[in-house]
Amino acid sequence: MSSTAPTTDSNLAVQVEALEIKATTTTATPRNHYHYQHHLLRKYSSGEDEVEEVEDDNEEPRSLRRSPVTHGPSPAVDHSHGLARLLKNNLLWSKAIRERQPDFFDRGSKGQQPEVFWIGCSDSRVPENEVLQLAPGEVFTHRNIANVVISTDLNCLSVLQYAVDVLKVKHVIVCGHYGCGGVAAALSDQSFGLIDHWLANIKDVKRQHDSNIDSIQDQEERCRALVEINCRNSVLTVAKSPIMKAAWARGQVIDVVGMVYDIQTGFLSELGYHVSNEKDLKTHLSVHSDALFAARKNTQL
């Protein structure tokens, strides 16, 4: 990263300490249903114990900030609207950032220089910036149901190409997560409508490892195994892409790593699928399903 980019430590301070907002509701009267009491954590740069409090707006509801670019015919969002809390949180968030790092947004507006490209699941419980403790501008992201990467998905591949060829990221993280609803649905014989077409990709992965996955008696553990194998498949699909092969051929230092997030503990773990070049890729492709699951059993002992 260039010398003008914000440092990870200072960004972490902003992300973790300056921006955590706690909201409590009071329902004394209908007008106060969206009456929130916000608190910003103590300033990151001081060792003080006091908490800075942002007073609530006790006035009658009024319109919140509106973009001057286009003024559509819809009425402005006021304080009685369900999104009012989110817009107020945004104002507090922006204010907190600017108070602690006045030039933060100015620097960010000049471009992004992330070192990490994250391919993850759309699940709202796996927010990559918070999981990795990185600030805005430090992780480039693509998310879909069950972090599936297939060679015909132009959306995902376009993002991958931009990350590799333009942003020059150093790491591509493919992250699955235990308790994934998409993977659980793929294990089922039930039809879920349109998403069945997407889940067919995970079912294809399962068929490659049917005997080993079906031998697991516990349904939850079977799902965890498919989460891991599905992530492995996406790692290998990324690594086999012409985008990655071209990057390695020109000497670009970049790796593809498979990880899994445990929503019950908050822990992120590497799965042992780490591809840094064509030689690594051939090694991973040569590993038989039985060997993968034997290693998995040994890890659990």
| Annotated binding-site ranges | 121, 123, 177, 180
Which residue ranges are tagged as binding site for Zn(2+)?
A: 121, 123, 177, 180
Asked whether the beta carbons of 145 and 121 are under 8 A apart, the reply is: yes
Which segments of 149-275 are extended strands (E)? 171-178, 255-262, 268-275
Burial of 167 (0-12, 13-18, 19+ CB in 10 A): middle
Catalytic residue, chosen from 121, 156, 175, 231, is: 121
Cα 184 to Cα 12, 120, 123, 168, distances in angstroms:
34, 16, 13, 35
DSSP label of 297: H
Catalytic residue, chosen from 79, 100, 123, 175, is: 123
Q: At 230, which amino acid appears?
A: N
| Rounded (10°) CA dihedral 151, 137, 97, 123 | 20
Q: At 160, which amino acid appears?
A: L
N-terminal to C-terminal alpha carbon distance within the chain: 41
Catalytic residue, chosen from 79, 142, 177, 232, is: 177
Query: Is 125 a catalytic site residue?
Result: yes
Judged by phi (left if over 0) then psi (alpha if -120 to 50, else beta), residue 86 lies in alpha
Burial of 54 (0-12, 13-18, 19+ CB in 10 A): middle
Query: Is 123 a catalytic site residue?
Result: yes
Question: What are the backbone angles phi and psi of residue 247, rounded to the nearest 5°?
Answer: -65, -45
Catalytic residue, chosen from 65, 98, 125, 288, is: 125
Query: Is 33 a catalytic site residue?
Result: no
* Active site positions, annotated: 121, 123, 125, 177, 180
